[in-house]
Amino acid sequence: MRNLFLTLFILAGLLTAPAPRGVLAQDPAKGTDVIINETLDSLENRLDRLQASLEEEAPETFSPKKIFIPAGETPPEAPRIPEQTPAPAGNITSGKIAAVPDKEAPAAVGLETKIIPLVYAEASGILETLQDMKGPKGEVSYDSAESALILTDTPERVAAMNAYIVKIDILLETEVFELEFIRTDEGLSVARQAVTEGIGQAEAGEKADSIIVTDTPAALGKIRELLKEKDRFNRAIRIKTRVLQIVLNEEHVAGVDWEAIVSEYQGAPFPGLTGAGDGANGGTLSLGVVTKEDYAVLLEALDTVGAVETVDEGTMITEQGKGKTVKVLSAAARGEGDAPSGAGQIHFDVTPLVKKDGTRTVSVTPRLVGGNPGHTIYEGKTEAAVRIKNEETIVVGGLFEEVLVESAWKIPLLGDLPLLGFVFRNEGEVPRRSEIILFLTVTVTDRK
């Protein structure tokens, strides 16, 4: 700029300066035209020297142009350089200065930012999905201090991500389901078809025959009902019963020593029946288990204890977890002897549960529901659970009662004499001690 003004200043001075006096005085005969031409030639030479000097001082990028301006016209205005507007100080938002985008960077047009706090879900579990949902210019971050997600994207994508977060950020619970009859893979199939899509999950548990399900409380309730319906025993259970009464001989008047005979022996207190408890088992009913082979041997061995009589036997069909009642009647209740009919009914409530491996757990509850002058009503209950395997039989003993049996005494030979033999013999009924034994055989059968 300084050089431009200097050039114009020198040019104006040359144009307004008087003609050189020496040239006009020394050669007056040349005329005016000659003098003017000499003066113009001198000015042109001086201008060329000045131009060369300015080009040496100007920077390399400066390239001045010579413009011919006809006389009487004004030169055009030089282009104006736009003034640089200073950048704004920034918008103050939540204690942070908003960054001013670089003018050379593309502007983020049509983007919005939304902050969504998390209540239940873990950020690590959904950030990966949100990264896949955002657009090319979108951003997803997590503020751990505020437990909130920060979403920046187009309104449509922000709305889609927000809908996903609302769906995933809900209360979840975990429950372990233990399976009784179906396999683990069958239980998983039921649970995985019922879990909430994209939220719930089901996997095998560490414990055998169990599955672990994580889902909403409502979904867990639905899965619980489905598994209950699926995981059930769908076969019939047959209970074969047999009641024996042994009139004990003099050598075994205390009753059978069941503890020495059966396996899985256990005692169940049952003081309601007179006489139960003063035998070999010390005031308790005796329960135990015998195998199929031992059951046949035991029936034969009981003949050595006394006179064995089958009082009752039958078969009942029931279902898983549903009880049946076995009635054991005393001699008086059966109408034997002088006791009134209907007295001394002992009921055994039998409830079977069959496991997936075939193991059966049978709950046996004895109770006295009636009596005669020789019995008292026992209203309390004593429950005993016995575990058996396939083809095993439960034995319940220890029920004692007095019965009348026919007895005959005679003198050998003389007691057999005709007419006079009655003098040498004695016939009649005598009281004897007896023990009642109940056998329960539980088997599984297909429904018909």
Task: Work out the average pLDDT over 400-412.
Answer: 71
Percent of all residues in the chain with a pLDDT value above 70, rounded to a whole number: 61
What's the pTM value of the predicted model, to 2 decimals? 0.51
Nearest one of 415, 323, 419, 305 to 364, comparing CA atoms: 323
Using only the alpha carbons of the chain, give its radius of gyration. Answer: 59
What pLDDT sits at residue 330? 65
Q: Which residue has the higher pLDDT, 326 or 77?
A: 326
Range in 98-102, 111-115, 213-217, 390-394 the model is least confident about:
98-102
pLDDT of residue 388: 86
Residue recorded with tokens 């960054």: 99
Alpha carbons within 13 angstroms on the beta-carbon side of residue 116 total 27
**Residue 277 clears pLDDT 90, i.e. is over it:** no
What's the pLDDT at 104?
42
Please give the pLDDT value at position 260.
86
The stretch 46-52 carries a mean pLDDT of 67
Q: Which of 126-135, 226-235, 282-291 has the lowest mean pLDDT?
A: 282-291
Q: In what order do the strands lie in the sheet containing 139-143?
A: 112-117, 148-153, 139-143
How far apart are alpha carbons 190 and 101 in whole angstroms? 56
Q: Taken in order 199, 202, 203, 206, is the CA torsion positive or negative?
A: positive
pLDDT digits (tens, 9 = 90+) for 279-332: 444 467 888 999 988 998 998 889 888 889 898 899 999 888 888 888 887 665
pLDDT at 213: 96
CB 307 within 8 A of CB 432: no
Q: Is the pLDDT of residue 80 over 60?
A: no
336-350: pLDDT as tens digits = 544 444 445 778 889
